[in-house]
Chain A
């Protein structure tokens, strides 16, 4: 699975859009980009995933560049409850055992 690079920390004002970048320059054509987050000491929570098209769900949007070497997770209207560590993960398959490799992620702090 390709390695990912994320900023260590970011801040965002409550109510604004939070844009979290992720670089995955060695991604292969059949690798998916996943995002999970971990609030305080809880277990991680799935947010969204994509292959090459932009994706949106009730939690967030995922924008993947045309060359697929980077992506951005967008939380459109950040709230204090969105303060968490966000992990960008790249792996091959949607099927089978999901052996996720977590880096250190981005610590996002939402400020009032």
Chain B
């Protein structure tokens, strides 16, 4: 199993551009999550999903959108990128109590 995969690894965006961060898992997990981590800080939950077609907001959802059309994929959309969205983004999945994290996407908005 590849586990949780994320693409791209790195990206630089200009202010106002849009992009989609991709996340996929091959463990048939119902639950998927997006977190962001700012320098020196812990992770903050952006959005999560309890299954295909069902998503909900986390702690810091503003400026982001998600969709979950399949069990495997959970893309995160950034519209009108802002410097405040410069961060490392982690995707995760779980079936039970243990959450499995991807390697992260490092995003810089300038």
Contacts and interface: CB of A to CB of B under 8 A. Distances in A.
Question: Is the pairing of A and B real?
Answer: yes
B74 interface: no
A99 B101 contact: no
Contacts of A98: 31, 33, 94, 97, 99
Contacts of A36: 99
A43 B92 CA distance: 9
A53 to B, nearest CB: 15
A103 B37 CA distance: 11
Contacts, number: 62
A62 to B, nearest CB: 13
Interface string B67-110: 00000000000000000000010101010111111111010000
A65 interface: no
Interface stretch (A13-21, A23-31, A74-82, A89-97): A89-97
Where chain B touches its partner, the secondary structure class is strand
A41 B104 contact: yes
A30 B93 CA distance: 23
A21 B78 CA distance: 38
A97 B90 contact: no
B103 A100 contact: no
B15 interface: no
B22 to A, nearest CB: 15
Interface of B: 4, 31, 33, 35, 40-45, 48, 50, 56, 58-59, 88, 90, 92, 94, 96-104, 106
